[in-house]
Amino acid sequence: MTKIKRRKFSADFKAKVALEAIKNQKTLAQLSQQYDVNAITIANGRQRH
């Protein structure tokens, strides 16, 4: 059985996605498709920043 490796995101990437989420120009679903990240992850990042 092979292990699935977790993806690691850079601080720059996290900040860019969080700023996009804070702007509220796109929905979380649109951002998750654009950046290939789960919507819950984006919502958590938005709360932190």
Whether residue 36 has pLDDT greater than 90? yes
The whole-number average pLDDT for the span 38-42 is 90
Reported for 20-26, long-range contacts at CB under 8 A and 24+ positions apart, including other chains, are: 21/45, 21/46, 22/46, 22/49
Whether residue 31 has pLDDT greater than 80? yes
Whether residue 33 has pLDDT greater than 90? yes
Cα–Cα distance measured from residue 12 to residue 27, given in angstroms and rounded to the nearest whole number: 21
* 31 is a domain residue: yes
**Residue 21 domain boundaries:** 11-48
Q: How many domains does the chain have?
A: 1
The whole-number average pLDDT for the span 3-22 is 89
Which residues, in sequence order, are CB contacts of 2 under 8 Å at separation 6+?
Answer: none
* 28 is a domain residue: yes
- Residue carrying structure tokens 């977790």: 6
Whether residue 49 has pLDDT greater than 70? no
Which residues, in sequence order, are CB contacts of 19 under 8 Å at separation 6+?
Answer: 49
